[in-house]
Structure formats: structure tokens, C-alpha cells
Amino acid sequence: MRTSSSISRSLGALRLQAVQAPRAHALRAWHRQMHAAAAVVEDIPLPQTLPPSSVATSHNTTATTKHDAQRIFRDALAATEPRNTWTREEISAIYYQPLMDLAYQAGSVHRRFHNPAEVQLCTLMNIKVGGCSEDCSYCAQSTRYQKETKLEAKRVETVESVLAAAAKAKANGSTRFCMGAAWRDMRGRKNSLRNIKSMVEGVKGMGMEVCVTLGMIDAEQARELKTAGLTAYNHNVDTSREFYPSVISTRTYDERLQTLSHVRDAGISVCSGGILGLGETSEDRVGLLHTVSTLPSHPESFPVNALVPIKGTPLGDREPVKFTAMLRTISAARILMPATIIRIAAGRKTMSEEQQAMCFMAGANAIFTGEKMLTTDCNGWDEDNAMFGRWGLEPMKSFQKSKQPSADIGMAA
């Protein structure tokens, strides 16, 4: 028979266990609470989650989890060099910080690693329009939606036409020229690859950085592009691993990561980011950031796209993503990947000038500018140059970025 003292000890142990639940469990519960709070502000769909346990809802435990989240946030802000060992819980603790403070602190990190007055001007040319066999739900270039989108497929642009477009972009202030082709991969495209290498060599010869996005490539193709002088290869992961199958079925997440591995192994800079507004939750945005910030080395650039709904595609009727989601993702990305260039990509045309300025203050330091961005409209050079003048920004030079702010930053005019 159990004595009253042993029963008392057992009850005491149970109470102690309830109070001292593992911090990771409590922190996850706090993340769920912050997740819900962010959803109220940003009006975004949420995944179903289990209700917090009675332990996680106690006053003391809530205080502890907030303390843990603040500690994670402080440690991230104090980092002096990039790291790629982030956990999802750490990223959540950063991502769900109050937005004003998150953006402000991201701006402080940005100023330690970059010249806050510099923004890179990039121009993107679609060198092969339409005819893609993939089923990306957001893309008008898929043959699966061609009947509805009315987008006419075209042949690959000539080397001469591409170099003329690059020269025009340079004359207007762009220092990086990107070329995109609507292909699944480069298998069996030897002639096209040869022409693209000539394009790369020509653009590089103008003193511009050059980037291409050609779908999946293998190790040998990556080495050929490196030999031609390619600066960077873009291959977005788009969203979290969990949500990805809801958007694309013809290319796996791991195939995307394999292409990034080939690019990195060839010594080419990696450009990889995502698209917001696909129907993902904020937890999927955390997942996107986790994927990219835990690559073997951080990407040289991280494009943040806002979905531009195109009629005729499966996502053609989606509502535009909230600006707060863009700002929160950019801010978190700056803290997680302090040395990376963060590019405001598709959808920037829907932002006000003031919203763009907030993104620059929080750490974005590259934009796409020119006449078009693949199949969507883009802010023009004149418009962006005028904006730079109003906000005291200056174009980043090719192949370099200032580590220290300009001497006149912060001084009265």
C-alpha cells in the first residue's frame, strides 16, 4: 500500500513536471499564439494547429516563452557573421516579432553589413517566351494554360537582340542583366546553350553582372555557364517544402535543390527566393526562409516576389498578398541572411513609393527595373531613378557593394 507521504511526493512530482514542461514545447505554443496574432493583422490563411496545452497557457509559461523568443531575437541581432544552422523554432521566434520592431531591427542589421544608400538596379529579359511543359500554377508561360492566357509561345531571342537589350539597360543605369527562358530544363538544348553562353559573354563584356534562369541544369551545364562568365544562376524554391506540391507537380522540391547544388559546386553565385500570395500560410513563409537560410551557404541573392495573378492560370483570381507579409518576410530574411542581397522582384509595381522605402529601410537592396518582368509589368527606369533621387538612394555598382555607408549618410543636406 502506498503511504500518504509517497502519494504526496508523486503529486508534487507531477506538479513540478507540469510547471517545468520542455521549453521547446512551450516555445512552439507561443509561436502558435504569435502566428494567430500575425494572421489577424495580415489577414492570411492559417494551417490547423492543435490547441495549446494547459501548461502553455499559464501565465508563467507564457512569460518564459516570450523570454525565450526575445533571447533568440537578441542573439540573432548580435551576430557578426552569417550562419546556416537556424532551426524552424528560431526562425519563427524572429518572424513573429512585432512588425515595427522587426523592421527596425532588420534595418540595423542591414546597416552593419551593407551600405543602406545602395540599391542594385537589375533588368530581366524573357529570352524564350511561353511553351513550357511545367504546371506552375502561377505562370502564364505554361502550355497547360495557353488557351486561357492567350500567351503566344516564341522562339529563343537572337544573341544580337539580347545584347542590344542589355546595352539599353546599361545606358539606363542597370548594372545587372538577367535572362529567363521558359523551359523545364536544358536537356537536349545544346544549340540554345551555346547561344546563351554567347549572350553571357557579351553581357559580361559590357561590364555588367549577368544572371540566367533556365530551369533545371546538370553539373556539366553549370560548369559551361561558369566558363562563359556567368555571375549568378536563379532558381527559386518558391515556397515551403510542405506547401510546394499544392503549387507545382511537374518538378520536385529536391530537384530544385539539386540544381542549386550544381550551381554552387560550379562556383556560380546562387540566386534563390520565393513567391508570396500563392495561398500559403505564414508558417509556409517561415518554411521558405528555413530552406534558403540553411543551404550549405546562403544565396548571394534572395528575390522576394509578390504573386501577380494572371487570368487563365489556376491562381489568376487570387487576392494580392498583403504588404505587411512582404515587409515581414524581407525583414526576417535580412536578419537570417545578413550578407545576402535581398531583391524586391515581381509585384513591386503594386507597391507605393512609401512602401518600397520601408522595404529598403528594412534591408531590401535590389530591384528589377525596365520595361517588363517576364510576362508582367515592371517599374520603368525613369520612374525608379526619380524615386532614388527623392529618397537619397544610389545605384550599386557592378561586381561590388560598399561595406561601409557613404560618408554623407545621416548628415543634413
- Catalogue the active-site residues: 132, 136, 139, 178, 211, 271, 343
The residue to which cell 525613369 is assigned: 382
C-alpha–C-alpha distance, residues 284 and 343, integer Å: 19
Residues 6+ apart with CB under 8 A from 363: 106, 107, 109, 110, 114, 330, 331, 333, 334, 335, 342
CA proximity to 244, closest of 376, 137, 143: 137
How far apart (Å, rounded) are the C-alpha atoms in residues 67 and 27?
9
- Other Cβ atoms within 10 Å of 265 Cβ, number: 13
Which uninterrupted H or E stretch holds 368? Answer: strand 366-368
CB atoms within 10 A of CB 192: 16
Query: Which residues on neighbouring strands pair with residue 121, listed in sequence order?
Result: 367
Could you give the CA distance from residue 4 to residue 48 in angstroms, rounded to a whole number? 44
Task: Enumerate residues 6+ apart whose C-beta is below 8 A from 354.
Answer: none
Q: Nine-digit cell at 206? A: 559590357
**In this structure, are strands 376-377 and 372-373 parallel, antiparallel, or unpaired?**
antiparallel
